[in-house]
Amino acid sequence: MKNSRYLLPLFLAVMASCSSKENSENPASKSVEISYELDTVMIDAGEEFIHVNWQMMSSDLSKDGKYLYNFKTGAEKPGVEIINLEELKLKQVIPMSLDGPNNIRHPYISSVDVLDDDTFYLSDSYFLYRFDQEGTKLSTLNLADHNFEGEKLPDDLRIDLNQTLSEDGNSLITFYADKFLEKAPMGIAVFDFQKESFYYKPVDVLKSLEKYRVNFYFNDNPAGAMFSSFYLLSKNDTLIFSNGGVNQLYFYNLKTDSISHKTYSSEFTSYEITSSYPSRMDDEVAYRELTKETQKEVNYGRLYYDKVHQVYWRFTKEFNKMKGETPLFKTVLTVFDPQFDQLGEILLQEDFVLPYKVFVKNGAIWTFLNIEDEVAFVRLKPTINYE
């Protein structure tokens, strides 16, 4: 699934060099067979209306898997909704303010991260806020103008939109890029909260992983960009990242500054995006039409860890055929072992709809479903049969 964003003028990020590279081929494996069952559950919101306008993209699962924290992105009255997934009902709403000591800058939050102590981070890609359960702001980190120790990013670069927390929650790991996000990310930046330190390093391979970017300009100013999504995952001392346009995973060791990658194949989907696109467009109508067309391209999604089965799951989506004027897509579920070797894959039923919000709870894969503006989740319950 492509990211098609209108980008505001942004700020910081930098350049540099990386290290050793290893390539590992990992073709589609037949070592396991996957079967699954589906069911759907509704969330009881009581007298409230759960915010669904942004498809619950700004949300996160609590560490114990009992609660989903959903930020009301773009709402007139912003807040964090806490949904009890055991009882399937809205537990509470933590109100957020745009003024006062507990303020956030605006009601558009790009990511939510819940910590072990039930405090949580909210990020708008410029600022990182930490709150407790009462909505009291515990800290604010300006990603562009911080006072952490270490070399600062040059003014013509900025922290990228792609961010993830370390497993222990003690660091924020991000990409950095050019000021207006007109090019591929340039490298990795790390904010260490405990040491209050910051460093960044270039990763040259990122340039080759964003071959499908189209920049939209209005009156010769950057106004939007369309590109294959990057996905980040932290595990131990390694940052695992991928680009949705190609069936690969990259592994960057933060300690040794070394990088390797694994290449996979699928029985059901293309290896990578093969279409060619212009790097720049100035016609908004043509840009929007192209945005629709690129939705048909293959998209390899992010990885989700399953504690019960001790594997990683990934969804892939690609255009299949037209039914009248309606495009139909193939959705493939792939499973990887803890070493990120591919174990198997299964083509899901044709009417399965892959949403933006996915998480794994108790060995089941939960996917958000909007039913007449009420919150539901389709639960895909996989079974792995080892041969």
Q: Which residues pair with 95 in a beta bridge?
A: 79
pTM of the full structure? 0.90
Q: What is the pLDDT of residues 37-50, one digit of tens each?
A: 999 999 999 999 99
Beta strand segments in 197-237, E = 197-202, 214-218, 221-228, 230-235
pLDDT the model gives residue 7: 30
Q: Hunting for tokens 């070399």 — which residue is that?
A: 151
Residue 27 CA to residue 239 CA, distance in Å, equals 22
Of the candidates 38, 47, 112, the one whose C-alpha atom is nearest the C-alpha of residue 376 is 38
142: CB partners within 8 A, 6+ apart? 126, 127
The residues, ordered by sequence, that sit 6+ positions from 33 with a Cβ below 8 Å of its Cβ are 344, 346, 384, 385, 387
> Residue 264: helix, strand or coil by DSSP?
strand
Which string of DSSP letters, residue by residue, matches 105-166? SSS---EEEE-TTS-EEEE-SSEEEEE-TT--EEEEEESSS---BSPPPPTTEEEEEEEEE-
Average pLDDT of 205-228?
87
Average pLDDT value for residue range 96-118: 96
Architecture category of domain 2-386 in CATH: 6 Propeller (2.120)
- Please write the tens of the pLDDT for every residue from 240-276: 999 999 999 999 999 999 999 999 999 999 999 988 8
State the maximum Cα–Cα separation within the chain, in Å, rounded to a whole number: 60
160-203, pLDDT tens digit by residue? Answer: 989 999 999 999 999 999 998 888 899 999 999 999 999 999 99
How high is the pLDDT of residue 23? Answer: 56
Bigger pLDDT: 292 or 242? 242
Tens digit of each residue's pLDDT (9 = 90 or more) over 328-342: 999 999 999 999 999
